[in-house]
């Protein structure tokens, strides 16, 4: 199979990077994401995992992918996929809007931009993610923008994933 690539962007900041899909390690997740592209949503900066930005989406796969190519220690440039029940994220502690509530499922597509990440949530424990992509170009620029997002805020910013 030929390598597939996507562009990951912080839309308002005009910053983007290129990632290669890890079809050989997470084929079901890659297929689900690829088929759903383009995707864009409000960006959030992680509270627990440290150097992570992400966007939340309604489920887009016919069935949630199994936990393939899992990690609890993502490295810079990893793209991870998480699926959460609304009961896991539907508390005021997370600060999400009314769309995240019990009875819903939420897909979290995350970008890790720096080292020393640990997917450990004080409410639920270990939260393994599926590593489905790796940034191959533009990580330094994206990391600067992500750090700026952490310092100056995410309000009004969108995280976008699209085919290249």
Q: For 114-164, what is each residue's pLDDT tens digit?
A: 999 999 987 788 999 999 999 999 999 999 999 999 999 999 999 999 999
Integer Cα distance of 46 and 144 in angstroms: 16
- CATH number for region 5-163: 2.40.100.20
Say what the pLDDT of residue 101 is.
62
**pTM surpassing 0.75?**
yes
Q: What is the pLDDT of residues 99-128, one digit of tens each?
A: 666 667 889 999 999 999 999 987 788 999
Query: Could you tell me which of 80, 72, 106 has the C-alpha nearest to residue 91?
Result: 106
Percent residues over pLDDT 90 in the chain: 80
């Amino acid at each position: 199979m030929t390598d597939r690539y996507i562009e990951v962007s912080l839309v308002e900041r005009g910053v983007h990077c290129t990632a290669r899909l890890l079809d050989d390690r997470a084929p079901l997740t890659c297929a689900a994401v690829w088929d759903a592209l383009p995707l864009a949503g409000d960006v959030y900066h992680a509270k627990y995992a440290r150097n992570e930005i992400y966007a939340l989406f309604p489920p887009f796969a016919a069935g949630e992918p199994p936990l393939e190519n899992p990690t609890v220690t993502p490295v810079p440039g990893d793209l991870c996929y998480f699926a959460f029940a609304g009961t896991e994220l539907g508390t005021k502690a997370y600060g999400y809007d009314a769309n995240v509530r019990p009875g819903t499922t939420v897909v979290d597509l995350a970008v890790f931009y720096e080292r020393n990440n640990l997917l450990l949530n004080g409410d639920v424990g270990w939260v393994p993610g599926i590593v489905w992509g790796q940034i191959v170009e533009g990580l330094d620029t994206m990391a600067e923008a992500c750090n700026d997002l952490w310092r100056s805020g995410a309000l009004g910013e969108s995280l976008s994933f699209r085919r290249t």
